[in-house]
Chain A
């Protein structure tokens, strides 16, 4: 603490300002009628409200899923009876007919996709066999 700071402190102490008994009594009297404000904590939402919001969210999610599926083409969300009633029964193909007439597109596409891979596998196996033969020859030469 330098001289300037000491002077600031000393001059502050020189200010004579004491609380008189009358002022103290006045302060005490004014505090008597005061009710302290308690800290207000943010109340958590009631359990019922939590359930209600959860159920509302769930219902909204189900509604969205239903609406999306409803609008998708080729997906039948109506009861079967409705379509069956709207079309003549003679035109409805039976399950065996469908299986016989329609080509198994899935199998063909699977074969198309897998045949190059099978060829590639055979080539790799052939290469491995050649490499193995080469190594065996090298070993024979070494020993």
Chain B
């Protein structure tokens, strides 16, 4: 099985099938991430399409010292930021839960999905850093590169984000009940 970087080289040598394989590997992961960031599923789909187009067009500029996932997430984050519509948040109209693609694609559960809480509590940069660290298993250095931030900023942001979420989760009724059951 070829690595991502080998597929990149094959694509640069003219193999469209190699890039199609890269799309296959990353499409669900990227869409899941973009669904948590975009205002709607349509925006997430536009963002993922733009991400693959940009990746294909500028594949020659990919630096093989980095992992391909770092590079493509960097593109995806930029596209997600471009897709955002800040005027929605500035308006007095509150979005109903059904409009949030993240809530819509999470199976009904008694407890809140931690990423819904993260989206509510953290800013976009901190949310992205948390996602890349704990879902994509990227290193601090790779996250710094993907977010175009310093490693120090990344470490501090991860630590604060984790503490904020832990505090929030510890305060939920479910956690309190579990603590009581443990006695």
Evaluate contact between A9 and B134: CB separation under 8 angstroms.
Answer: yes
Chain A contacts of B35 at CB under 8 A?
A: 15, 17
Does A71 touch B at the CB level, under 8 Å? no
Please classify how large the interface on chain A is, using the bins under 10, 10 to 19, 20 to 34, 35 or more.
Answer: 20 to 34
Stretch at the interface among A30-38, A99-107, A121-129: A30-38
Chain B contacts of A30 at CB under 8 A?
A: 49, 52-53
Chain A contacts of B113 at CB under 8 A?
A: 11, 14-15
Q: What total of chain B residues lie within 8 Å of the partner, measured CB to CB?
A: 40
Chain B contacts of A47 at CB under 8 A?
A: none
Using A27-B52, A37-B57, A37-B58 as known contacts, say yes or no to A19 and B27 having CB atoms under 8 A apart.
yes
Evaluate contact between A31 and B61: CB separation under 8 angstroms.
Answer: no
Which has the most chain B C-beta neighbours within 10 Å: A8, A26, A34, A38? A8
Least distance between A38 CB and chain B CB atoms (Å): 6
Does A28 touch B at the CB level, under 8 Å? yes
Chain A positions 8-57 with a Cβ under 8 Å from a chain B Cβ: 8-9, 11-12, 14-19, 23-24, 26-28, 30-31, 34-39
Q: Closest A-chain residue to B34, C-beta based? A: A17
Chain B contacts of A16 at CB under 8 A?
A: 105-107
User: Would you list 26 pairs from A and B whose C-beta atoms are within 8 A, ordered by A residue?
Assistant: A4-B166, A5-B134, A8-B130, A11-B113, A11-B114, A11-B115, A12-B134, A14-B106, A15-B36, A15-B105, A15-B106, A17-B31, A17-B105, A23-B48, A24-B27, A27-B48, A27-B49, A27-B52, A30-B52, A31-B16, A31-B56, A36-B56, A36-B59, A37-B58, A37-B61, A39-B61
Binding site for A on B (CB under 8 A): 11-12, 16, 19-20, 23, 27-28, 31-32, 35-36, 44-45, 48-49, 52-53, 56-61, 102, 105-107, 109, 113-115, 130-131, 134-135, 162, 165-166, 169
Binding site for B on A (CB under 8 A): 4-5, 7-9, 11-12, 14-19, 23-24, 26-28, 30-31, 34-39
The 7 A-B pairs at the shortest CB distance, nearest first, are namely A17-B32, A8-B134, A39-B60, A19-B27, A12-B135, A17-B35, A11-B114
